[in-house]
Homo-oligomer: A and B are copies of this chain.
């Protein structure tokens, strides 16, 4: 019988494969993902896959599985004794060319030590350049239905966690419309298999969710004011990822593979002093909706 962690790693790899295949189809440009295989000093490595097409201006779908002796600093941050660890997962960020299609992010991950500690983590969140309320509602209803099939508390708890996590404190605004975020999922009442089933369901929801967002928005006409606003929102995405995102900071601080970590940054971004999109009603509306605690599922 294979080790449990081998089963999880195999599943993450197959998730990366199927998502890459689906995205190539959805993009429709005929472009393929570029793959870079890399090894980590100390153990393990990854498959970084990067895409540039017609629909997706810059996207990364990364798999990694790293293992070895845990650095003392990390053990102390996690509240663990020094030991051998395994960390594996899939991370995705897609920057669409059209300002009408949201930026999307997904991460699913698994961690274990040779002392018997283990947990899952992950989430999906969406950063529309323009928030369309009906689409935000559908997105959250989709996530709720995924969560509800596994635990009645998951959606409420993980939606709130995402609101708090994807928050740009120095702007007092959320990164987007949130989604779900969870960490250290290791239920007393459930088994590892049950927790893995939830993580699989989250991973499998990515393509249907993104396809819905793309289909609803890809034919919309792009004007100069839309592209200008997109550049500003991309700047905020950079600010979140470099200033506040714990995953990014952790990676950069522990000599992770920089190009794989920073695939999350947009192809370009702009910063203008005290920018306000005064001529753009939908941008102003979007700004007003970048806050925590909106009950999107019941939004009306």
Contacts and interface: CB of A to CB of B under 8 A. Distances in A.
A194 interface: no
Contact of A239 (B36, B171, B242, B272): B242
A198 B269 CA distance: 38
A171 B262 CA distance: 11
A50 B271 contact: no
A214 B50 CA distance: 39
Contacts of A252: 169-170, 243
A252 B170 CA distance: 6
B267 A263 contact: no
A249 interface: yes
Given A270-B267, A270-B268, A271-B265, A258 B170 contact: yes
Given A268-B270, A273-B263, A238 B242 contact: yes
Q: How many copies does the complex hold?
A: 2
A266 interface: yes
Contacts of A171: 258
Contacts of A242: 238-239, 242-243
A269 B266 CA distance: 9
Interface in A224-280: 231, 235, 238-239, 242-243, 249, 252, 255-256, 258-259, 261-263, 265-274
A269 B272 contact: no
Contacts of A170: 252, 255-256, 258, 261
A170 B250 CA distance: 11
Contact of A268 (B259, B262, B268): B268
Nearest to A244: B252
A268 B227 CA distance: 13
Looking at A170, A231, A266, A269, the one whose CB has the most chain B CB atoms below 10 A away is A170
A269 to B, nearest CB: 6
A58 interface: yes
Contacts of A259: 273-274
A176 interface: no
Contacts of A235: 265
A60 interface: yes
Interface in A113-139: none
A35 to B, nearest CB: 12
A271 to B, nearest CB: 4
Interface string A15-37: 00000000000000000001010
A258 to B, nearest CB: 5
Interface of A: 34, 36, 50, 58, 60, 169-171, 231, 235, 238-239, 242-243, 249, 252, 255-256, 258-259, 261-263, 265-274
Q: Which 5 A-B pairs have the closest CB atoms?
A: A242-B242, A265-B271, A170-B252, A268-B270, A50-B273
